Chain A
Amino acid sequence: MAAKTDKSIEALLQHSFKEMLQLLNKNQAFTTREVKGEFIEEQEFKTIMFTVSSSNFRLVVLLHFLPKSELNAELYDTLKLDPACSTQYYQDFICELGNNFCGVICRVLGAADFSTGMSTPAILANKKSIINLRSVCIDFETHAGGFVDNQVPLCASMCLFFNKGANMELNIPIPAASHEQENLGELEFF
């Protein structure tokens, strides 16, 4: 697989993860960087899975998050959450964050002329989600961590699967970070 494809997927994950974090209360508290899959497996994360599909490839997008019991006051504040919220509400909040994450991915792919569809979120019961995905032959995987001081409340993984016979080369232009948020939330009349 072309190095250009690896770079494209890495850049797509980093961009969309950062854009997702922009939605949070104190997004400036986050620093993001590439991490290894093994780093994510070592954390006490729960995971939500989404699929973004096109005619050539599928992206399995995993959003890893700390269980509610692991959050402290600083993280509640950073995530814009009431500490008294229920576990169900917290998971729903993370699912919606993931929806917005995949929305960014779809918009970037759409701008590069890939027609995509995305799934509804699925909370995975098994903690070893990445290991399980590897067993079905991922063509490429990349991971990002969202750090608040020394804590890691959120991480993300992107696993690329090419469809059989597809051209295994992707070149995805990534927009400037500030451009993405410009028209969100506005009502477009038909």
Chain B
Amino acid sequence: MAKVLVVDDSSTVRNEVSSYLTAQGIAVDTAVDGVDGLAKIQRDSELKLVLCDVNMPNMDGLTMVEKVKQSGKVISIIMLTTESNPNMKQRGKDAGVKGWIVKPFNGDAAITGIKKMIS
């Protein structure tokens, strides 16, 4: 079964997004920051998609994405963030990010794209 990893330092967001995706029949794992997310991406071969915040302690989301790219791991990543700065989006694009969602998370607005990415 395809699995989605939700990387966010906010437990509110992790719970909200996980609950929505689980109700859609999608398996979900969570990580609390970029360091935790990077470790889970490297070791979990069932992960098909990562939903990742930008501003997080320890390691921010865009740095995590760049490290994933450097490691050679191929996985779809969507940023889920309050940030909408064009420079940040460009940095994400350059690192191979596939999409961008400006918070708050609206599952109904994003689910079609998410399902497409994990199918």
Chain B residue, CB-CB nearest to A95: B10
B67 contacts partner chain A, Cβ-Cβ < 8 Å: no
Tell me whether B110 and A190 are in contact (CB under 8 A). no
B103 touches A99 (CB 8 A): yes
Asked if A96 lies at the interface with its beta carbon under 8 angstroms from chain B, I say: yes
Q: Is the CB of A107 within 8 A of B84?
A: yes
Contacts of B93 in A (CB 8 A): 190
Q: Does B2 contact A (CB under 8 A)?
A: no
B37 within 8 A of A: no
Taken residue by residue from 98 to 116, chain A's Cβ proximity to chain B (1 for < 8 Å, 0 otherwise) reads as 0110110011001000011
Most buried by B among A102, A119, A186: A186
> Do B103 and A184 have beta carbons less than 8 Å apart?
yes
Q: Give Cα A6 to B104, complex, Å.
A: 29
Of A93, A100, A188, the contact of B101 (CB 8 Å cutoff): A188
Q: How far is the CA of A23 from the CA of B106 in the complex (A)?
A: 11
Q: Determine if B12 is an interface residue (Cβ-Cβ < 8 Å).
A: yes
CA distance A100 to B12 in the complex (A): 12
Structural contact, B83 and A103, CB atoms closer than 8 A: yes
Q: A92-B11, A120-B56 are in contact. Are A187 and B78 (CB under 8 A)?
A: yes
Q: For B101, what are the chain A residues with a Cβ–Cβ distance below 8 Å?
A: 185-188
- Least CB distance from A96 to B in Å reads 5
- Contact partner of A185 (CB less than 8 A), chosen from B86, B103, B114, is B103
Q: Are A96 and B12 in contact (CB under 8 A)?
A: yes
Distance to closest chain A CB from B82 (angstroms): 3
Summarize B's interface: helix, strand, loop or mixed: mixed
- Interchain CB contact under 8 A, A186 and B85: no
Q: Please judge, given known A-B contacts A185-B106, A185-B110, whether A96 and B10 are in contact too, CB under 8 Å.
A: yes
Contact B103 A103 (CB under 8 A): yes
Question: Smallest CB–CB gap between A82 and chain B, Å?
Answer: 11
**Interface-centre pick from A102, A117, A188 (highest chain B CB count, 10 A):** A188
Chain A, residue nearest B106 (CB):
A185
Task: Given A103-B84, A106-B85, check contact A188 B57 (CB 8 Å).
Answer: no
> In the complex, which of the residues A23, A92, A118, A119 contacts B104, with contact meaning CB atoms closer than 8 Å?
A23
Partner of A89, one of B12, B57, B84: B12
CB distance from B94 to the nearest CB of A (A): 10
What 9 pairs between A and B have smallest CB-CB spacing?
A185-B106, A103-B82, A187-B113, A187-B110, A96-B12, A96-B10, A185-B109, A186-B109, A188-B100
Interface residues of A (CB under 8 A from B): 23, 88-89, 92-93, 95-96, 99-100, 102-103, 106-107, 110, 115-120, 183-190
Chain B positions within 8 Å of A, measured between CB atoms, are 9-13, 55-57, 78, 81-87, 89, 92-93, 97-106, 109-110, 113-114
- 19 more A-B residue pairs beyond the given contacts A95-B10, A187-B100, A189-B113, with a C-beta to C-beta distance below 8 A: A89-B11, A92-B10, A103-B84, A106-B84, A110-B84, A110-B86, A115-B87, A117-B85, A118-B55, A118-B83, A120-B56, A183-B102, A185-B103, A186-B101, A186-B106, A186-B110, A187-B101, A190-B92, A190-B97
